[in-house]
Structure 1
């Protein structure tokens, strides 16, 4: 359990109460939690999962693999039944599940992981090759993570982008959006939309609508925590 707050006295009271109900041990300042490594400095907090990545590569025998520059090929054309050579389904699902957890603080692999997670029911060798490419990319960038700097502001900014009919299976589009609070990334997400858009304008509008919902949720959360936004929320969209 990680206890976070700006009142040391209240934290101690909570820990004392919990220790009366449960067998507990105070491990001090947070350094490692659920596979996430926490490093502190005067400029902020850095989160990474290097050990998690190295353990995963060691477990599947890819510690000595050749690194890849990107997690997935540009303009890939993955779909169902790409070939007639199925792969180990249980192993594929387990690997993708671990990559999904890793993507929480690795937005650089979020899109690639969202792609391979679409073929969990009937993965083929072609799909497994993409998973292996993600792992080879992680070998190159095992220490990447998220930096939360002390920027002294709580400005909320969102970015959205969507491809139009990117899926060759059902012509659905894939949405990607990122939300920054105070210059720090707090939400990064990539997901295929549920409906087929008739135009690029429609698909961009749907993407912006999803981004606005996320920004409104962030604003409500900050309000509940006692923070008042001074500047209006900005939403940037890659759309002519």
Structure 2
């Protein structure tokens, strides 16, 4: 079968010191699916001073929102730095509002930034 190099969206690279796991390709697939490949990246996934507003109009496509949230949850396996903000958008999967979608898009922009600067 050969050496393990890609499994379940995770790139595996073996070195003398062990294994290096990354989800760079998976993150690119998420951005492509969200039609955000050419988005302007941000250096921080959330406004540290602001509070997530639970009000606002409902998102047009709640199914798409939930799908993107799920893909980001899987991405936290190799990017634990986004775990907190992903958990924040997960709290609103049952009734996503426009502020939640804005945060979701910000996380996606940060994901693009973090992989571009590695």
Work out whether the TM-score is over 0.5.
yes
> 1:73 maps to which residue?
47
The alpha carbon displacement at 1:79 in A equals 4.2
> 1:19 maps to which residue?
none
Contact 1:49/1:102 (CA < 8 Å) preserved in 2? Answer: yes
Question: Is the radius of gyration larger for structure 1 or structure 2?
Answer: 1
| Aligned CA distance change for structure 1 residues 134 and 100 (closer, same or farther; 3 Å) | same
Structure 1 runs of 4+ with >3 Å offset? none
Which of the two has greater helix per residue? 2
Task: Tell whether 2:7 aligns with 1:39.
Answer: no
Number of aligned pairs?
A: 117
SS in 1 for 2:47: coil
Higher relative contact order (CA 8 A, sep 6+): 2
Deviation per CA, 1:97-146: give whole Å up to 9, x if none: 1101111221010001011100011111110000000000011112789x
- Extract unaligned runs of 5+ from structure 1: 1-26, 146-240
Distance 1:100 1:44 in 2: 25
Out of 48, 57, 62, which is 2:31 matched to?
57
SS in 2 for 1:141: helix
The alpha carbon displacement at 1:78 in A equals 1.4
The alpha carbon displacement at 1:71 in A equals 1.4
> 1:131 maps to which residue?
104
Contact 2:53/2:99 (CA < 8 Å) preserved in 1? Answer: no
TM-score normalised by the chain length of structure 2: 0.91
SS in 1 for 2:115: coil
Distance 1:91 1:51 in 2: 20
- Extract unaligned runs of 5+ from structure 2: none
Task: Tell whether 2:69 aligns with 1:96.
Answer: yes
SS in 1 for 2:12: strand
Distance 1:127 1:94 in 2: 14
Q: How does 1:1-240 map to 2 (within 5 A)?
A: 27-80=1-54, 82-83=55-56, 85-87=57-59, 88-142=61-115
